[in-house]
Chains A and B, each alone.
Chain A
Amino acid sequence: MTKVTVYSTPACPWCHKTKDWLKENKIDFKNVDVSADKKAAEEMVQKSGQMGVPVIDIDGTIITGYDVAAMKKALKIN
């Protein structure tokens, strides 16, 4: 099963868009609030090499920003 983690902040609109898109496509994911979890924030920076949210980890494929095409490709869906 594909493991999906979304690193986000609570008020970030593009984070909400990303999570909404995953829900619409019935993709299970773990949401991590990097504003409340310093360790998770460091993990996000280490994985993505940058500080912007959202960051989406799809089985090791790291996507930065709300990028439907990249998510579809990583999830192998049309």
Chain B
Amino acid sequence: MEHHADYDVVIIGSGVTGTGASIYCGRFGLKTVVIGEKPGGTIILTDDIANYPGFTKISGMDLADKIHEHAVANNIEFVEKKVTKIAKCSEGCFRVFVNEDLYHTKTVIYATGTEWRKLGIPGENEFTSKGVHYCALCDGPVYKDKVVGIIGGSDSAAKEALLMAGYASQVYLFVRGDKLRAEPINNQKVIENKKITTFANIEVLEVLGEKFVNAIKIDKQINNSDIFKLDAIFVNIGHVPIVTLAKEIGVLVNNKNEIIIDKMSKTNINGFYSAGDVADTQFKQAITGVAEGVTAAYSAYHYINENEFICLHNDEVVKHEEN
């Protein structure tokens, strides 16, 4: 076990929320490490961002890189790994584990964001990356001149269909509800695009194939069959918060599994803050996530200054755990 001692703040999640928060931690003079396996987070999958103040138009990747550079300039340490466990000390500190490595800290800012929501149907896991995909921006070009399906009814699904129409020979949009709920401009683009056909009130029941996907089974008949042949599906049915590690130490979540925070980004556990897409806020944007993150940094700064911490070191941690 490698013991990384005595941090003021461990930020879990290296997206724009966690990284943005770290800039303020640095400026408050707090010893801070940001731990996350996906630097930049989900925003890097967004091609064009036109609503982040200071940038008329910027890619998600470039925005994430600029925020990262800003954090590094404030002496923030980054660890490109996945946190595997969090534990509370009786002294009010936290122990954050990356496999065997231990990071001992006075506070935690939990900004893990979300991951793709899965369909949860037979064949989905078996054919992941073998015709079941979640990122058209990444894997879409591989299906040049092929037939693909987009599963989902949101604006995001409409945009995926439009993107894929640039590569595929035919795009089928499978909407579970009675209509596509895209922004009017994207809805119109979908209607006008000759490569895209939308099927409403259709549920996908199973992904079929041999080595790779070759069809899906649906709950209604199209062309007299409930088996619909295609080369790939791109699933776009929203996201789910990544909350498992926080819940394990008793952090409260709402009925959407989002972490409940107050206006100061505090959770129900002292010294444990949360921000960004994983938190129970209504308007989930890069700018609001960063704002919640820097509020968490401010709360952590005050919490650290107003409390005494008797942090345990490596040997004592083991002894402490044994007791």
- Chain A residues packing against B (C-beta within 8 Å): 9-17, 34-35, 38, 41, 49-53, 64, 66, 68-69
Q: Given A50-B130, A51-B129, A52-B133, answer yes or no on A13-B40 (Cβ-Cβ < 8 Å).
A: yes
| Complex interface: stretch among B134-142, B179-187, B283-291 | B134-142
What is the CA–CA distance of A34 and B45 in the complex, to the nearest angstrom?
Answer: 19
Residues of B close to A34: CB separation below 8 A: 141-142
Complex interface bits, B140-164 against A, C-beta within 8 A gives 1, otherwise 0:
1111100000000000000000000
What's the interface size class on B, roughly?
A: 20 to 34
Q: Given A35-B167, A52-B138, answer yes or no on A13-B44 (Cβ-Cβ < 8 Å).
A: yes
B131, B139, B140: which has the most chain A beta carbons within 10 Å?
B139
A-side interface mostly: loop
Q: Which of B39, B60, B138, B144 contacts A12 (CB 8 A)?
A: B138
Check A35 against B232 for contact (C-beta < 8 Å). Answer: no
B176, CB-defined interface residue at 8 Å: no
B130, B167, B232: which has the most chain A beta carbons within 10 Å?
B130
What is the CA–CA distance of A30 and B199 in the complex, to the nearest angstrom?
Answer: 42
Q: Which of A12, A15, A68 contacts B80 (CB 8 A)?
A: A68
Residue of B nearest to A48 (CB): B129
> How many A-B pairs with Cβ below 8 Å?
62
Residues of A close to B144: CB separation below 8 A: 35, 38
What is the CA–CA distance of A50 and B61 in the complex, to the nearest angstrom?
Answer: 25
- Chain B residues packing against A (C-beta within 8 Å): 38-40, 44-45, 47, 60-61, 80-81, 129-131, 133, 135, 137-144, 167, 211-212, 232
Residues of A close to B130: CB separation below 8 A: 49-51
Residues of A close to B138: CB separation below 8 A: 9, 11-15, 52-53
8 interchain pairs, CB-CB under 8 A: A9-B138, A12-B135, A12-B137, A38-B144, A51-B130, A52-B129, A52-B139, A53-B142
Check A41 against B129 for contact (C-beta < 8 Å). Answer: no
Check A13 against B61 for contact (C-beta < 8 Å). Answer: yes
Check B47 against A11 for contact (C-beta < 8 Å). Answer: yes
